[in-house]
Chains A and B, each alone.
Chain A
Amino acid sequence: MTETLPPARILHAGDAAFVIELGETVDPAINDRILALDARLREAALPGVTELVPTYRSLLVHFDPDAVDGLELLGRLRGLDLEHPGEAPAGRAWTVPVCYGGEHGVDLEEVAERHGLTVEEAVRLHAGGTYRVYMIGFAPGFAYLGGLDQRLHTPRRVNPRLKTPAGSVSVGGIQAAISSVEAPSGWHLLGQTPVRAFDPGREPPFLFAAGDTVRFRPIDAAEFAALAARAADGDPLIRPEPASEHAS
């Protein structure tokens, strides 16, 4: 697919970071370019650059202003071909078990009803999709997913919940998510996975990364309980496959 992508912009984020922005929309082509640029800059290991944070459509470049002249670094970044960063690294493919509805997904019925679907149809639509991990953000390991079926697009709750359980599988607007730790959220909870996207005591502590793809596998409450017990002992429960496994 050929298309014209917006030009790259380098924006100021104070005196210890720049934002390299390659677009302002949710677009897999833009996200691919961000992930490719992230890989290039990690490889380049520019002096003074301390941390890179890829998001949907921008790359936050943290630097240590005591270690490098900010103007010099800005010049170096401007000298890069930001719009042609090459290929994004290949993502991995995950199949994530989810227990839908009931105490594990308290908003499932309401979301189905709002869209004129039966609960079974809503689960089929959600579990039938292939999702792209656009970004890990908000909380440790929290995965923002794109690719939600239009029939499940649901505006965020007017009153966010102050607490939602770890492992919540939710939808908000056009997006879907897998949460990692107990956190406030205004999204609708369709189900819960026993998989711990973040467990600081486990190796590796994190599972998902930007550029990965995710599918869901419905499980019942009994399987959820059995898997949750294993996850509590540090079992990641799922292993990644090459992304081609999810190619349609």
Chain B
Amino acid sequence: MSDRLLVRAPGPLATLQDAGRRGYQRLGVSGSGPMDRLAHEAANRMAGNPPGTVAVELALGGLVLEVAAERVRLAFAGGTFELQIDDKPMPWWSCVTVHRGQMVRIGRAQAGVWGYVAIAGGLALPAQLGSHATHTLSRLGGIEGRPLRAGDALALAELEPSPHPDLMLPDPPPAREVIRAVPGPQDDYFTPAGLAAFFGEGYRVSAQADRMGYRLEGPQVEHAKGFNIVSDGTVAGSVQVPGMGTPIVLMADRQTTGGYPKIATVIGADLPALAQIAPGGRLRFQSVSFEQALEARRVMRGWLDRLADRLEPLRTGADLDPARLLGLNLIGGVTAGDPLREGLVP
């Protein structure tokens, strides 16, 4: 029998994502891919994978995997989640080898929204339109184009060839409240007052936040010449402002074209941090130039390139704060009635 990871519980939303689907946006196909590209790539690097290898993306926690292979190395990144291997607590942002019959339980998010489980060697899975990225609305990628569900078996592409030390990252990227954005492409569709409001006191992420986009709550942004444009293309991070004047940040599963003016674009270095802000969380936009955005991306790239040097031997058990164990609230905690769940399931 082939080596697999079995999905015992998916939590509110778990999908398979690689770096995204490239080359089909001209035919209306969303790029998809991870909500937090930084964490997705960090998880893959910790697992020893090439960037863009397909990984599990989970929302808010509640994912339980059973190991049905002799051994496999898993890496965990994105936000901060409670993690247990069998009954043993483990730090998040870590890389551990797990063995047949072990249960990997990811509990409630302590910080952030999106977590990633990278699998050393990747998964054996057919690609659709050149990618494994799941886009549920067009039923593409992943497993039958749908979220993972209990009972799914993820076939491992290769068995871990040799034992590898368990590692952890002591300094994961911090949360950000200041989100940098480059004005445009349609900043000329807004009044000076509208632009000042947008780059002003700040917003909260509303409950209408999912893989397609985050609707924000806060200052109204005044249009200068109506709120309809002849549709043009969108990117991840496009901030469109519909008629009601509150912005929507378009995310991974966005539609490829849109008919509302786009006041600004969140820079690639800060979109991961924005994605990790849960509904109710605060943010403030800061206007930056194209050159500053490119520099910020070089800084992010440098962080990823030095990641391997900063990994430390894993500390577990007695080294972990026992108070955190009492706070563990596995699977049941993120199902019905959780206000964070509202708007995050498709």
Contact = CB atoms under 8 A, between A and B. Distances in A.
Given A53-B26, A139-B137, A12 B232 contact: no
A198 B294 CA distance: 36
B27 A200 contact: no
Residue from the set B186, B231, B293 with the largest chain A CB neighbour count within 10 Å: B231
Residue from the set B257, B265, B291 with the largest chain A CB neighbour count within 10 Å: B257
Interface stretch (A88-96, A97-105, A114-122, A130-138): A130-138
Interface string A230-246: 00000000000000000
B182 interface: yes
Contacts of A26: 230
Interface stretch (B17-25, B117-125, B171-179): B17-25
Interface in A52-71: 52-58, 60, 62, 65-66, 69-71
Residue from the set B28, B269, B301 with the largest chain A CB neighbour count within 10 Å: B28
B291 to A, nearest CB: 7
Interface in B289-346: 290-291, 293-294, 296-297, 301
Interface of A: 11-17, 19, 21, 24-26, 38, 50-58, 60, 62, 65-66, 69-71, 74, 135-142, 144, 180-181, 183, 198, 200, 205-206, 209-210
A138 B250 CA distance: 13
A137 B255 contact: yes
A181 B138 contact: yes
A62 to B, nearest CB: 7
Contacts of B27: 136, 140-141, 198, 206, 209
A19 B232 contact: yes
Given A62-B235, A140-B28, 15 more contacts: A14-B235, A14-B237, A15-B182, A15-B269, A19-B233, A50-B22, A53-B25, A53-B256, A58-B233, A60-B25, A70-B290, A71-B290, A71-B294, A141-B27, A181-B139
Given A24-B230, A51-B25, A66 B301 contact: yes
A17 B235 CA distance: 8
A180 B129 CA distance: 16
Residue from the set B184, B235, B294 with the largest chain A CB neighbour count within 10 Å: B235
B236 to A, nearest CB: 8
Closest 4 CB pairs of A and B: A60-B233, A137-B257, A14-B265, A11-B185
A16 B235 CA distance: 9
B274 to A, nearest CB: 12
A180 B28 CA distance: 10
Given A70-B290, A137-B256, A200-B128, A57 B28 contact: no
A26 B294 CA distance: 33
29 contacts: A12-B183, A12-B265, A13-B262, A13-B265, A14-B235, A15-B182, A15-B269, A15-B290, A15-B296, A15-B297, A19-B185, A53-B25, A54-B26, A55-B231, A60-B25, A66-B297, A71-B290, A71-B291, A136-B27, A136-B28, A137-B256, A137-B257, A139-B28, A139-B255, A140-B24, A140-B140, A180-B28, A181-B139, A198-B27
A137 B343 CA distance: 24
Nearest to B129: A200
